[in-house]
């Protein structure tokens, strides 16, 4: 129905029955229908991912079964594709992978979600991480996306590059990673370059 498998049963027809049907006007079947929705399929085959369409609310949250997941205010009121793949939850918007988060469901226990289906396409590649620069102050703490990152006083006065990822901030200096910080919220980045103050005369 509507291009999806509703039910599959064993056939009692043999070759002679099929020949008689063809003489009566039956025609060869077309391409196979799409895969069934997961809530009718039951168990999720190993190695497959689920996906479903969802609209984030005005605060950037979505509901999945009994779980609430914070997608982010930047996607508020947007129509997104949610993809559950093992222990990860991917968010796709306008054909682009915009976020990857931990899945709220236990691995190996596929949830029964209304409207969910087996993923039929490849996951889009992740975009390059956003990078910002900061000059480390004397106290060794920099601010990115409203979050304080303690880089260390030993780096005071130096320019560091910070990679803003979905779940972490990676702080590097001259190409070497010097610290890693868990991202506590999904506030957007509003300042990209380090503030360099002219020396006082």
pLDDT reported for residue 19? 64
**Burial track 113-148 (b if 16+ CB lie within 10 A, e otherwise):** beebbbbeeeebeeeeeeebebbbeeeeebebbeee
Helices and strands of the chain, counted as H and E runs: 2, 13
- In Å, how far are 7, 38, 40 from 33, measured between CA atoms? 11, 15, 15
**Residues 164, 104: one domain?**
no
pLDDT reported for residue 92? 92
Nearest-angstrom CA–CA distance, 183 and 149: 10
> For residue 13, how many other CB atoms are within 10 A of its CB?
9
pLDDT reported for residue 12? 62
Kindly state whether residue 53 falls inside one of the protein's structural domains: yes
pLDDT reported for residue 176? 86
**Residues 135, 110: one domain?**
no
Kindly state whether residue 107 falls inside one of the protein's structural domains: yes
pLDDT reported for residue 140? 95
Range of the domain at 57: 31-118
Kindly state whether residue 21 falls inside one of the protein's structural domains: no
**How many folded domains does the chain comprise?**
2
**Residues 41, 65: one domain?**
yes
Last residue of a domain, one of 65, 94, 118: 118
Mean pLDDT by 10 residues, the chain (201 residues): 51 64 68 51 58 92 89 89 87 86 74 81 78 95 95 94 87 88 86 72 53
pTM above 0.85, yes or no: no
Kindly state whether residue 188 falls inside one of the protein's structural domains: no
> Which residues, 6 or more positions from 154, have their beta carbon under 8 angstroms from its beta carbon?
140
| Two tokens, residue 200 | 């006082």
pLDDT reported for residue 120? 80
């Amino acid at each position: 129905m509507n291009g999806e498998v509703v039910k599959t049963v064993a056939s009692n027809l043999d070759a002679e029955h099929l020949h008689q049907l063809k003489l009566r006007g039956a025609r060869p079947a077309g391409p196979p229908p799409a895969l069934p929705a997961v809530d009718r399929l039951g168990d999720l085959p190993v190695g497959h991912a689920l996906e479903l369409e969802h609209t984030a609310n005005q605060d950037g949250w979505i509901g999945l079964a009994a779980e609430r997941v914070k997608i982010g205010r930047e996607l508020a009121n947007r129509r997104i594709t949610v993809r559950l793949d093992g222990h990860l939850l991917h968010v796709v918007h306008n054909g682009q992978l915009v976020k990857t988060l931990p899945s709220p469901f236990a691995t190996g226990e596929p949830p029964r979600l209304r409207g969910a289906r087996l993923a039929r396409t490849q996951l889009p590649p992740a975009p390059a991480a956003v990078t910002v620069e900061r000059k480390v102050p004397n106290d060794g703490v920099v601010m990115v996306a409203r979050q304080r990152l303690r880089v260390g006083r030993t780096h005071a006065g130096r320019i560091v590059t910070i990679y803003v990822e979905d779940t972490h901030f990676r702080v590097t200096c001259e190409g070497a990673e010097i610290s890693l910080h868990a991202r506590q919220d999904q506030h957007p980045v509003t300042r990209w370059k380090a503030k360099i103050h002219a020396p006082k005369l």
